[in-house]
Chains A and B, each alone.
Chain A
Amino acid sequence: MKKLVNNPDVVVDEMIDGYLKAFPKLVAKVEGSGRALVAKQSLHGNGKVGIVIGGGSGHEPAFMGYIGRGMADGVAIGNIFASPPPQPIVEATEAVNQGNGVVYIYGNYAGDIMNFGMASDLADMEHDIKVESIIVRDDVASAPKREKEKRRGIAGEFFVTKVAGAASARGDDLSEVVRLTNKANESVRSMGVGLTPCALPQTGKPSFVLGKNEMEIGLGHHGEPGVEKGPLQQADDVCDRLIDDILNDGGLKAGDDVAVLVNGLGSTTQMELFIMFRRVEQRLSEKQINIHRSYVGNYSTSMEMGGCSVTLMKVDEELKALIDAPAECPLYAQYE
Chain B
Amino acid sequence: MIQATDLKKALYSMRDKMAEERDYLCELDRHLGDGDHGVTMDIGWKAVAQALDDLDAETDISVICKQVAMAFLNAVGSSVGPLYATGFLQAGKPFKGKTALTSEDVATFWIAFAEGIEARGGAKIGDKTMVDTLAPMAAYLREREGGFDSEGALAAAKKGMESTKTLQANVGRSSRLGERSIGTIDPGAASAFLLFKAFCDSVQPREKV
Q: Which positions in A face B, CB cutoff 8 Å?
A: 9, 56, 78-87, 109-111, 114-115, 118, 142-143, 150, 152, 200, 202-203, 205, 207-208, 220, 222-225
Interface segment out of the listed B6-14, B32-40, B104-112: B32-40
> Do B173 and A114 have beta carbons less than 8 Å apart?
no
Inter-chain contact A202/B39, CB cutoff 8 Å: yes
Q: When the two chains form their complex, are residues A225 and B177 in contact, meaning their CB atoms are under 8 A apart?
A: yes
Shortest beta-carbon distance from B23 to chain A in Å: 7
Q: Is the CB of B23 within 8 A of A203?
A: yes
Told that A115-B81, A207-B30, A222-B33 touch, could you supply 16 new A-B pairs with CB distance under 8 A?
Answer: A79-B40, A79-B77, A82-B81, A85-B74, A85-B75, A85-B82, A109-B173, A110-B121, A111-B77, A114-B120, A115-B77, A115-B78, A150-B176, A200-B39, A202-B36, A205-B30
Return the CB mask of B38-82 against A: 1 if under 8 Å, else 0.
111001000000000000000000000000000001111111111
With both chains docked as a complex, state the minimum distance between the C-beta of B99 and any C-beta of chain A, in angstroms.
29
Which B-chain residue is minimally distant from A223 (CB atoms)? B34
For the complex, give the distance between the alpha carbons of A80 and B79 in Å: 13
| Interface of A: prevailing SS | loop
B26 on the A face (CB < 8 A): yes
Chain A hits for B175, CB < 8 A: 150
A222 — nearest CB in chain B belongs to which residue? B34
Top 10 A-B residue pairs of the complex, sorted by shortest distance between their CB atoms: A111-B79, A82-B78, A222-B34, A85-B77, A114-B82, A110-B79, A83-B77, A202-B39, A111-B78, A84-B77
Task: Name 19 interchain pairs, CB-CB below 8 A, sorted by A.
Answer: A56-B78, A82-B77, A85-B82, A86-B82, A109-B173, A110-B173, A111-B77, A114-B121, A115-B77, A142-B176, A150-B175, A203-B35, A203-B38, A205-B30, A205-B35, A208-B35, A220-B173, A222-B33, A225-B176
Residues of A within 8 A of B43 (CB): 9, 79
Chain B's interface size range is 20 to 34
Enumerate chain A residues within 8 angstroms of B36, measured Cβ to Cβ. Answer: 80-82, 200, 202-203
Alpha-carbon distance A137/B12, docked complex (angstroms): 39
- Tell me if B198 is interfacial: C-beta within 8 Å of chain A: no
Tell me the bound Cα distance from A115 to B76 in angstroms: 10
Residue contact A143 to B176, C-beta cutoff 8 Å: yes
Quote the shortest CB–CB distance from B157 to chain A (angstroms).
22
Residue in contact with A83 in the complex, picked from B26, B33, B34, B79, CB distance below 8 Å: B79
A85–B76 CB distance below 8 A: yes
Closest residue on chain A to residue B172 by CB atoms: A110
What residues of chain B lie closer than 8 Å to A223, measured between beta carbons?
34-35
Given A83-B77, A110-B79, residue A222 in contact with residue B173 (CB < 8 A): yes
- Verify A78–B39 contact, CB threshold 8 A: no
User: Within the complex, what minimum Cβ distance (angstroms) separates A165 from chain B?
Assistant: 23
**B83 on interface, CB distance cutoff 8 Å:** yes
Given contacts A110-B171, A114-B82, is CB(A203)–CB(B176) below 8 Å? Answer: no
Which residues on A sit within 8 Å (CB–CB) of B83? 114
Please tell me if B180 contacts chain A, counting CB pairs below 8 Å: yes
**Which interface residue of B76, B81, B120 has the most chain A CB atoms within 10 A?**
B81
Closest partner residue, chain B, to A152 (CB atom): B176
Q: CA separation between A109 and B171, bound complex, in Å?
A: 10
Residue numbers in A under 8 Å from B40 (CB-CB):
79, 82
- With both beta carbons as reference points, the residue of chain A lying nearest to B27 in the complex is identified as A205
* A111: chain B residues within 8 A (beta carbon): 77-82
B82 A115 Cβ-Cβ under 8 A: yes
B residues within 8 A CB of A83? 77-79, 81
B174 neighbours in A (Cβ, 8 Å): 224
Q: How far is the CA of A87 from the CA of B36 in the complex (A)?
A: 22
Q: Cβ of A118 and Cβ of B82 under 8 Å apart? A: yes
User: Out of A9, A56, A86, which one reaches B73, CB within 8 Å?
Assistant: A86
CB distance from A25 to the nearest CB of B (A): 29
Across the interface, name the chain A residue whose C-beta is closest to B81: A85
